Amino acid sequence: MYIYAIGTINKQKIGVSNNVAQRLATLQTGNSEKLSIHSTIEIEDDVAFRFEKFVHHDQAHKRILGEWFDMNDTEVKTLFTYYEITLDTLLMQLY
């Protein structure tokens, strides 16, 4: 399972999927703006949705609507790098 950031230059959808490329294709359908995969973190299935919920809560101040966030591609790459480096510590906090 992966947590991903898919979006445009200035907005990102943060979610989880087993197949990020397929998720990109699904999201691109009906979206007039070109979407790209900006970041992914491989994560164990049993904690993926809990971690997604944590990320959504952690970034609530940037939420546009639902799982879409007001972040540029550089911001989300930096954020995901931080999450990846601190993943073990963050996951311990979720239990």
Q: Which is more confidently placed, 91 or 51?
A: 51
How many Å separate Cα 92 from the centre of its chain? 19
Q: What is the pLDDT of residues 10-41, one digit of tens each?
A: 999 999 999 999 999 999 998 999 999 999 99
CA distance 32 to 26: 13
How far apart, in whole angstroms, are the C-alpha atoms of residue 74 and residue 84? 15
CA-closest candidate to residue 7, choices 83, 82, 75: 75
Give the pairing of strands 2-7 and 12-17. antiparallel
